[in-house]
Amino acid sequence: MLRAAQPPASARGTALIVTAGTSDLPIAEEAAVTADAMGCVAERLTDVGVAGIHRLLANRGVLERAAVVIVIAGMDGALASVVGGLVRVPVIAVPTSVGYGASFGGIAPLLTMLNSCAAGVTVVNIDNGFGAAVAAARILHGATE
């Protein structure tokens, strides 16, 4: 049976999409488009990886206003743990297969994110911006979809 098309309900709060580097932008865009299609407001904070942690810390207010944070990072994937330690909201980590270094096609950041010591970090599969945005939308809509 087909479901009737209906506009998505308005989400409560904002999904903040954070990228470690510019090579993560295609995955971030997938997440942003998906969040938008699901009736969520998605803001972006890009190129704030741990190699230049001052860029992330300079945007602490942006992090604190978010209702859920999607962190997209390759290489070692450490950004998800850092963000998870800074915020009190759910963090959805997305390991990426892009970037430079020996990330083994996303396996290295995946394992780092799965082993995060920060509480409240959930991990989706490699390059899964769509899945991260759907999870964020369910959080923002109160899991009523």
Rounded Cα distance, 74 and 78, in Å: 9
Instruction: Give the residue among 82, 96, 102, 101 at the shortest CA–CA distance from 125.
Output: 96
CA dihedral 117→118→120→121, nearest 10 degrees, is -70
Q: Give the helix ranges, DSSP H, for 38-128.
A: 53-57, 60-65, 79-86, 107-114
Long-range contacts, 57-65 (Cβ 8 Å, 24+): 60/86, 62/16, 63/16, 63/18, 63/87, 65/14, 65/16
Q: What domains, with CATH codes, occur in the chain?
A: 14-140 (3.40.50.1970)
Q: What is the pLDDT of residues 59-117, one digit of tens each?
A: 999 999 999 999 999 998 999 999 999 999 999 999 999 877 778 899 999 999 999 99
Q: pLDDT-based confidence at 2, cuts 50/70/90?
A: low
State pTM to two decimals: 0.91
